[in-house]
Amino acid sequence: MAKQDRAVRTREQLIRSAAEAFARSGFGLSSLSDISTGAGVSSGALHFHFSSKRELGEAVESAAAETLRGIIAPCPPGHPDPLRLLVDTSHLLSQRLTQDVVLRVGFGLGNDATWQEDAKLWLKWRSWVGATLVVAGERGDLAADVLPDAVVSAVTAAVVGSEILGRADAEWSSCRAVAQFWSLMLPRLAVRRGETGLP
């Protein structure tokens, strides 16, 4: 492996190990030596990449934001089924939050009292949901009595809440909670084509 590839891989291992430490002990109680040990590298290698725990925290957030950007590709105006895209993407986000500790901690750091930065990944998710609903509305896919703002809030809160509950309680699968949310919400949101009175 070329020297540069090794450096990239070490950096990624450190970010992952930092996320694992933050998830385990919170940002405030995580130590740099735990993080370098977890990544299987020396303390010197850690300091080559990161000058402080704060810098590691910022790197976790940036990596999580990058992953989120890959999940929420913008919905183009002519998309054939924006509501389906919304459902599928919320499932994908929920699944990735369960599997990817860097993404989870990037979202979760905002709830860690010992970490004062504001990644606001939830706000990015909320904006994406809003923009996707605009496309759905323009296509006439939304029931007339549904307020898009209300849907944005409900969908955002549902994904946040599923993630938190999934974290606290292994019996609570966040994917199941998201599926149940949509089994209720989708029939409410989607315009009922058969009931418009039109032929």
Instruction: Report which of 163, 156, 166 is spatially closest to residue 126, judged by C-alpha positions.
Output: 156
d(CA 47, CA 79): 47
66 vs 149 by CB, closer to a copy of itself: 149
Q: How far is the CB of 157 from a copy of itself (least distance, A)?
A: 3
Is 191 near a copy of itself (CB under 8 A)?
no
Is 8 near a copy of itself (CB under 8 A)?
no
Indicate the residue type of 33.
S
Is 150 near a copy of itself (CB under 8 A)?
yes
Stretch that binds a copy of itself, among 8-16, 36-44, 54-62, 169-177 (CB under 8 A): 169-177
Alpha helices by DSSP H, the chain: 3-29, 32-39, 43-49, 53-71, 82-99, 101-108, 121-138, 148-168, 174-189
d(CA 25, CA 6): 28
Size of the site for a copy of itself (CB under 8 A): 47
Q: How far is the CB of 137 from a copy of itself (least distance, A)?
A: 15
Stretch that binds a copy of itself, among 11-19, 23-31, 47-55, 57-65 (CB under 8 A): 23-31
d(CA 165, CA 157): 12
42 vs 180 by CB, closer to a copy of itself: 180
Q: How far is the CB of 155 from a copy of itself (least distance, A)?
A: 9
Residue among 65, 112, 137, 190 that touches a copy of itself (CB under 8 A): 112
Residue with tokens 């919400």: 185
The residues, ordered by sequence, that sit 6+ positions from 154 with a Cβ below 8 Å of its Cβ are: 185
Stretch that binds a copy of itself, among 46-54, 69-77, 120-128, 132-140 (CB under 8 A): 120-128
The residues, ordered by sequence, that sit 6+ positions from 194 with a Cβ below 8 Å of its Cβ are: none
CA dist 158 to 91, 167, 199, Å? 11, 14, 36
d(CA 15, CA 4): 17
Stretch that binds a copy of itself, among 38-46, 72-80, 130-138, 143-151 (CB under 8 A): 143-151
Q: Which residues here bind a copy of itself, judged by CB under 8 A?
A: 22-26, 28-29, 108, 110-114, 118, 120, 122-123, 145-147, 149-151, 153-154, 156-162, 164-165, 167-169, 176-177, 180-181, 183-185, 187-189
